[in-house]
Structures are given as structure tokens and as C-alpha cells.
Amino acid sequence: MLSIEVLISGAMMVSLTFYALLGGADFGGGVWDLFASGPRKRAQRELIAEAIGPVWEANHVWLILVVVLLFTTFPPAFAEIATALHIPLTLMLIGIVLRGSAFTFRSYDRKTDDVQRRWGRVFSMTSLITPVLLGVAVGAISSGRIRGEYSDFAAAFVSPWLAPFPFAVGFFALALFAFLAAVYLTVEASDETLREDFRLRALASAVAVGVMALAVFLLAENGATVIRRRLTRSWWTWPLQISTAVCAVCAIYALWARQFRRARFYAAAQVTLILWGWGGAQYPYLIVPDVTIYNSAAPAITLRLVWWALLAGSALLFPSLYYLFRVFKRGRAT
Amino acid sequence: MDDLLAARSQMAMSLAFHIIFAVAGVATPLMMCIAEWRWLRTRDETYLTLAKRWAKGTAILFAVGAVSGTVLSFELGLLWPEFMRWAGAIIGMPFSLEGFAFFTEAIFLGIYLYGWDRVSPLAHLAAGAIVALSGAASAVFVVIANAWMNTPTGFRLIDGKPVDIDPIAAMMNPAALGQTIHMLLAAYAAVGFAVAGIHAFLLLRDRRNIFHRHALAIALAVGGVSALLQPASGDLLGQMLSRYQPVKLAAMEGQFKTEQGAPLRIGGLPDEESATTPHAIEIPYGLSLLAFHDPKAVVRGLEDFPRDVWPPVAIVHIAFQVMVAAGAAMALVALCAAYMAWRRKSLPDSRWFLRAVVAASPLGFIAIEAGWTVTEVGRQPWIIQGVMRTAQAVTPMTGLKIPFVTFTLIYIFLAAVVVWLLARQVAESPRVYAEPEGADNRGREYAFD
């Protein structure tokens, strides 16, 4: 029988996975807005805005769910993370605020080119920066650099995250989000040439994902020793890594063969497996190497109540989400 | 500015900013649903236009509310990690529930805003109703968590640590019911009056515009009913304060002495040094009557409590006076409107009445900001009343004035843009007039700007 701590951290991983697959792709959309180019520049941007518009606010709530679950069920871990990573998290919040606002302002401001471009630039630049900072925070909690000592400013608030490994994770996250977005947009596009644009972008970002995955793995040697050891020596790691690689290859092949729905499935599976591989290597740590899901857990009554709230909430949430995506994402491309 | 003050300022500024958008997220969906429901009932296209216009405003306000709310959920830890470490297990529960309520709100708002021609009219209206309901639920859950900071329950204190935690009992804390009702009514009143003011202003320039007349009627109904009910929930809170937060109550009233048959002070400027509140109009027995429903009741003054647990008395007293004055003025306008509507059997539209509505339009938001000042400043020096001081909760991070200044500048910028965008929406208001003949109240649109 799984312990309640494992069940709830599993629920947090599920939320984080949805955030990556849905909210992450919205960030990726912003990246492709920034890099919109060629004769169909405007059409690319319109497709992105149309794809994100109805869903980005709902997609964004997955992150809030992770945060409230963390502070309700593992309060000391939340306190440590929010203290040590004050600087990158604050910068990430600035990114989130400006990005969401700019996207909405662009939709409701004048449709003249200069106005649209001004908000578009804020939206796309912050879409580039925010995922990096999110990845930096994730990299930092895996790196073993957060030690709960706050006497020296640089050691307490800067060195936990200002290091090659967290930044490699940050850019890895960015590459993954851009990849997801490009793959999804091949399905969303109703125009053949537009679909080709995003197909090429998806293939290019698949390469970036591979490069960054390798960089993260190599930097983990010194940057995140616990995670690296588990990713190379656990019994489950090779089946998982091979499955991830198979998904990556299948996604690239499907893109190559223009089987876009299939590509979308494999891309999402690849990102999910990467996240759960990280989750498995991180278990039972919330912050390597001191804080675990056991030594930071809230009293059992809180965990049980949250678990029931999660079940009840999911019964409400998943049908609603299904309805949302059915209304807006049905029947476009093949 | 020391780091504690910077942290408090950043939190205060973030909350003061977010609350404006949060209440809009609670109340505007109700109004757009009423308009859409009127359209389905009467098939008067003006109502459909109105629902769509209000939906645009809601979209802008909700987006800024969503992102500024995200900032707050992180700021709980970024600024007050020791509070969260201590209290997360006890009071995280309503935040988790709020997460799901917010999810529902965001999902169905997406359907409402982008789904006009993708779902059936009834499904569309239902989506709007779900947004209105889940928005209210979100507000209830968050305010429950704040109420717990005022009247903490659901644990026992052993050596400064909480034991025997009961998150349900924490949610059922004594302040929860009064505070949630007070906040919901405040949201409907503030947004109702603000929107009514905009349409009254436009009606003053264009008296026969049916679009604005419909809008004014709905907004006034929502805002007016809430403003008239609000004193009852205020009374509930007064009872609660007199039992659980006597220091806050004494500060609100500028009551330094413990007194039998205490007077109600209107105005005045409390002076902590001389422990008096000069220049106030005193209504004999008023405070005892309001706080205990008994003119002879003893009201405990600040002198009964050590100086180091006094909040800044003048700020709390003045903020409370501002809130009550604003609320009273709104209730008065609502009463006049109700009386005239009942007498004339139609929407009151005399020039002076419209001017009064315009003048009253910012009062609800002023009352909300003042009211939260009373709640939060009035609880100082505690972050959890009687249990944890604000100074114990703050992050060890230094240099906090940098994020404070940064967020302040960003929020000023966002506020300016939102005002500008909404003003642009308002300026493009449709001109719809009744048929000159036939006294048919179905509007016909002659022109769109």
C-alpha cells in the first residue's frame, strides 16, 4: 500500500505534468511568437494566439495547484524553497504577471500593428524567460545546494541557483516547451504551409531538446550528484530511459512522416516520461539532500483531508477540462 | 525602510492591487449573466450587446486578477515563510479548495468568452453562471483563511507548536462566516456601483440610450441590494470582534478607556500618547449598543492591553471611519433609487440622481481598501492573532525593498493600462434608442462607433 505522502506527492507530480504539457506549451507558443518569421509571420502569430486564448488561464492553474499542495502538505519544504529561491522565483513571477497581462492587453487593445507588436514583444520575451526561471528553480531543488542556512547572503540566496546545472535545467525546460508547442501547433494549423512552418520548428526544437538533455545529464555529474546516481543506477532507470528515447525517436519520425497527431502523442509522452524520471530520481526528496516527503509532511489528518479534496476536486475538474478542450480543440487538422 | 516594513508594504500593495481584480472576478460574471438571461427572456438584442461588453471587461480584469493572485500565492512563502511553515498544515486546506474553485472559474470563463458561437445559448449561460458561482466560492475560501488569522482555531498550542491539528475546525473559525458574507456583499456592491457610475455618466450625456439604461438598471440592482444588506453583515462582525478581537475593536473606535455604556465616535483623530480621541462626534451608548446590543455593556478599551499589542490606532480608526462613511453613502443612494423606482415604476433617471450615482461609483472600492486596512493593520502586531507576531514570520532574505519597488512600479503600470483599455471600451459604447413610435422597449441599434 502506498503511503499517503507518496500519494500526495504523486498528485503534485500529476499537476506538474499537466502544467508542463499544457501551460508549458503556452509558454512555448510565446517563444514561437517571438521567433515568428518568413512570409507567414502574421499567420503564425494569429494561430498561436487563437490556440492559447481560451485555455491559458485554466492551464496556468496547474502551477497554483502545485504551490498550494506543497504549502498545505509539506509546509517546511515550501518555506525552504521560497526562502532560498526568493530571487529566481520573484523574477519568474514578474515574468508570469507581464506575460499574462500583455497577452490579454494585446487581445483587447487597438489592432494597429505598432500597438499589437508592442504587447506581442512583452508577451513573447516573458514567455522565453519565465520557463527558464521555472527550470532553474527545479534544478536548484535537485542540486543539493539549498542547505537552510541564511547567515551569509550569497551562500543563502544566490549560490543555490546561480550555477551551471540549474540553468541547464532551465534551458532544457525551455526547449521542451518550445518543442511541445511546435508539435501541438502542427495539429492546430488548418493551413498546409503554416503546418509546414511548425513542422520545421518542431524538428529543430527536437534537436535542441536532445542537446539540452545531454547537457543536463553531463552537468549533473557535479551539479546534482544524488539525482545523477539514481538516474544511472536504479533498477527502473534503463527501462524508463529507453522508453523516453523511443518516444523521442517516434515523435521525430512522426513529424518527418507528417503524422501530426501521432507526433503530438509521442511528444507529450516523452515530456511526461522525462518529468517522472526526474520525480523518481528525486524520491523521496523534496529538496536534496535534507528535506523529504516524510520529514516535512503535515500531520496525517491534513494529508488525508487534502487527499479527499483532491479526489472530489478531480471529479469536478477533469470533466470540466474535457469539456473545455472538446469545445475548442476538436476537429481541426487530420 | 527595514526589511520587515518592506515585506509588509509589498504584501499590502499586492493585496490592495489584487483585491480590485478579485472582486471584479466575483461580481462582473453575475452581472453579465443577468444581462444574458434578460436577452434569452426578452430577445432584446441590447441585452446581448451588454453581456458581450461586460464580458470583454471581465476578460481584462480576470486575467490581471489571475496573474496577481499567482503572485500572492508565492508571496505567502517568499515574504512569510515562517508563517507558512507554522500554519500551512492548519490553514492550507481552504487554499487547496480555492485551487479547484479557481480552476472551474478559469475553465468556464474560457468557454464563456470564446464560446459564443461554439456552444448552445443555454450552455453558454450555464457556463457564465458557473463562473459567477465558482468566483464567489474562491472568494469564500480565501477569506476563510484570512479569518483564521484573526480568530485562529483548530489546534492546541504546546511549547509554541501547534498540536492536535483539525483543518476543518480551523475553517469553521468564529470570524469565517461574518467575514465571508461581508466580503461577498462588498464585492457585489463595489462592482455594481462602479459599473452603475460608468453607465450613469454616459447616460448624462446621452439620456435616451437604452443600452446604458439597461446596464444601469442591472448594475444598480446588484450594487444597491448588496449595499443595503451590508450593515447586517457588519453587525455580525462587530459581535465577533467584541468577543475575539477586543483590541482591534477598541482601535477601530478610538476607545482607549474601558467604559460601561461606551459612546460611538464619528470622526476624530486618536492620539496614542495622550490615550484620547479628540475632535470626534460622540453618540452616547452607541458603541456598547452596536458591539454588544446592550447600551449598558462594558467595552474594553486599549488601556486594558499592553502597549506592545496595540495596532497603529489612528490608521485603524480612520480607515474604519472611511469604510463606514463610504458604505453609508452607498446605502443612501441605493435607498433613494429603490424608493424612486417603486414610486415611478421605472428606472430613476433624473439628472441629480445620475450625478449622485456617478459620485458614488468609486465608494465601494474605497470601502474595500479601507476595510482590508482595518482587518490587516488592526491585527498587528500579530500575523496570527495572539499566536505569532508578524516580525517572527518574515523571511531572512534581505534587500526586500527592491522587490517591493519593482512590483509597485509594475502594478502602477498595469493599473494604468487597464484603466486606459477599459476607458477605450467605454468610449466605444453603442448607441441604441427606442423606436420613436410604438413605445416598444425593444432597442434597435442605429450606430456603433
- What 3 state SS string does chain B have? CCHHHHHHHHHHHHHHHHHHHHHHHHHHHHHHHHHHHHHHHHCCHHHHHHHHHHHHHHHHHHHHHHHHHHHHHHHHHHHCHHHHHHHHHHHHHHHHHHHHHHHHHHHHHHHHHHCCCCCCHHHHHHHHHHHHHHHHHHHHHHHHHHHHHHCCCCCEEECCEEECCCHHHHHCCCCHHHHHHHHHHHHHHHHHHHHHHHHHHHHHHCCCEHHHHHHHHHHHHHHHHHHHHHHHHHHHHHHHHHHHCHHHHHHHHCCCCCEECCCEEEECCCECCCCECCCEEEECCHHHHHHHCCCCCEECCHHHCCHHHCCCHHHHHHHHHHHHHHHHHHHHHHHHHHHHHHHHCCCCCCHHHHHHHHHHCCHHHHHHHHHHHHHHHCCCCEEECCCEEHHHHCCCCCCCHHHHHHHHHHHHHHHHHHHHHHHHHHHCCCEEECCCCCCCCCCEEEECC
Cross-chain residue pair B110–A54, CB shorter than 8 Å:
yes
Cross-chain residue pair B74–A89, CB shorter than 8 Å:
yes
- The fraction of chain A above a pLDDT of 70, given in percent, is 98
Contact B203, B158 (CB under 8 A): no
Q: Which of B193, B298, B196 is nearest to B250 (CA)?
A: B298
Cross-chain residue pair B103–A98, CB shorter than 8 Å:
no
Does the pLDDT of residue A139 top 90, yes or no? yes
A108 contact residues in B (CB cutoff 8 A): 56, 59-60, 421, 425
- Residue A283 Cα distances to A29, A73, A135, A139, A173, angstroms: 31, 16, 18, 14, 20
Please count the other Cβ atoms lying within 10 Å of the Cβ belonging to residue B158.
9
pLDDT, mean over chain A? 92
Instruction: State whether residue B168 sits within 8 Å of chain A by CB.
Output: yes
* Nine-digit cell string for A49: 494566439
Does the pLDDT of residue A332 top 50, yes or no? no
* Calpha distance A263→A252 (Å, rounded): 7
Cross-chain residue pair B85–A72, CB shorter than 8 Å:
no
Buried b (16+ CB within 10 A) or exposed e, A100-109: bbbbbbbbbb
A-contacting residues of B 89-118, CB under 8 Å? 89-90, 92-93, 95-100, 102-104, 106-111, 113-115, 118
Q: Going by DSSP bridges, is the β-strand pair B264-267/B280-283 parallel, antiparallel, or unpaired?
A: antiparallel
Report ipTM (2 d.p.): 0.93
pLDDT-derived band at B444 (thresholds 50, 70, 90) equals very low
- E strand or H helix that includes residue A63: helix A56-73
Give me the pLDDT at residue B344, please.
86
How many structural domains are present in chain B?
1
Does the pLDDT of residue B165 top 90, yes or no? yes
pLDDT-derived band at A113 (thresholds 50, 70, 90) equals confident
* Calpha distance A322→A324 (Å, rounded): 6
Does the pLDDT of residue A276 top 60, yes or no? yes
- Residue B253 Cα distances to A194, A296, B271, B385, B388, angstroms: 67, 43, 12, 19, 25
pLDDT-derived band at B449 (thresholds 50, 70, 90) equals very low
Domain hosting residue B191, numbered range: 3-240+313-429
* Calpha distance B243→B375 (Å, rounded): 15
pLDDT-derived band at A1 (thresholds 50, 70, 90) equals low
Give me the amino acid identity at B63.
A
A-contacting residues of B 394-423, CB under 8 Å? 395-398, 403, 406-407, 410, 414, 417, 421
Cα–chain center distance at A1: 30
Does the pLDDT of residue A295 top 70, yes or no? yes
Q: Which member of B85, B104, B110 has the closest CB to residue A55?
A: B110
Give me the pLDDT at residue A331, please.
52
Mean pLDDT of B392-407: 95
Give me the pLDDT at residue B79, please.
96
Cross-chain residue pair A105–B60, CB shorter than 8 Å:
yes
Give me the amino acid identity at A225.
T
Contact A53, A328 (CB under 8 A): no
A67 contact residues in B (CB cutoff 8 A): 73-74
In a domain, B351, yes or no: yes
Q: Which of A202, A218, A211 is nearest to A266 (CA)?
A: A202
* Calpha distance B134→A68 (Å, rounded): 18
Cross-chain residue pair B167–A104, CB shorter than 8 Å:
no
In a domain, B389, yes or no: yes
* Nine-digit cell string for B353: 440622481
CA neighbours closer than 13 Å in the CB half-sphere of residue B122: 0
Q: Dihedral of the CA atoms A276, A278, A279, A281 (nearest 10)?
A: 120
String of DSSP letters for A277-291: HHHHHHTTEEETTTE
Does the pLDDT of residue B72 top 50, yes or no? yes
Mean pLDDT of A24-28: 94
pLDDT, mean over chain B? 92
In a domain, B298, yes or no: no
In a domain, B250, yes or no: no
Residue reference for cell 462592482? B191
Chain A residue whose CA is closest to B395: A83
Give me the pLDDT at residue A110, please.
83
Give me the pLDDT at residue B448, please.
39
Give me the pLDDT at residue B240, please.
94
Give me the amino acid identity at A161.
W
Does the pLDDT of residue B335 top 50, yes or no? yes
Give me the pLDDT at residue B435, please.
56
* Calpha distance B27→B132 (Å, rounded): 7
A90 contact residues in B (CB cutoff 8 A): 78, 403, 406
Mutation for testing the A interface, residue in B73, B95, B103 having most A CBs under 10 Å: B103
Buried b (16+ CB within 10 A) or exposed e, B119-147: beeeebbbbbbbbbbbbbbbbbbbbbbbb
Give me the amino acid identity at A58.
A
Closest chain A C-alpha to B162 CA, distance in angstroms: 10
Q: Which of B3, B2, B1, B12 is nearest to B383 (CA)?
A: B12
Give me the pLDDT at residue B443, please.
42
* Nine-digit cell string for B449: 462607433
The pTM of the full predicted model, rounded to 2 decimals, is 0.93
In a domain, B285, yes or no: no
Q: Give pLDDT tens digits for B237-285.
A: 999 999 999 999 999 999 999 999 999 999 999 999 998 999 999 999 9
- Residue B83 Cα distances to A175, B100, B149, B394, angstroms: 36, 23, 10, 8
Does the pLDDT of residue B157 top 90, yes or no? yes
Using DSSP's 3-state secondary structure scheme, residue A292 falls into strand
A75 contact residues in B (CB cutoff 8 A): 84-89, 92
Q: Give pLDDT tens digits for A233-272.
A: 888 999 999 999 999 999 999 999 999 999 999 999 999 9
Cross-chain residue pair B118–A328, CB shorter than 8 Å:
yes
Does the pLDDT of residue A208 top 70, yes or no? yes
* Nine-digit cell string for B236: 455580525
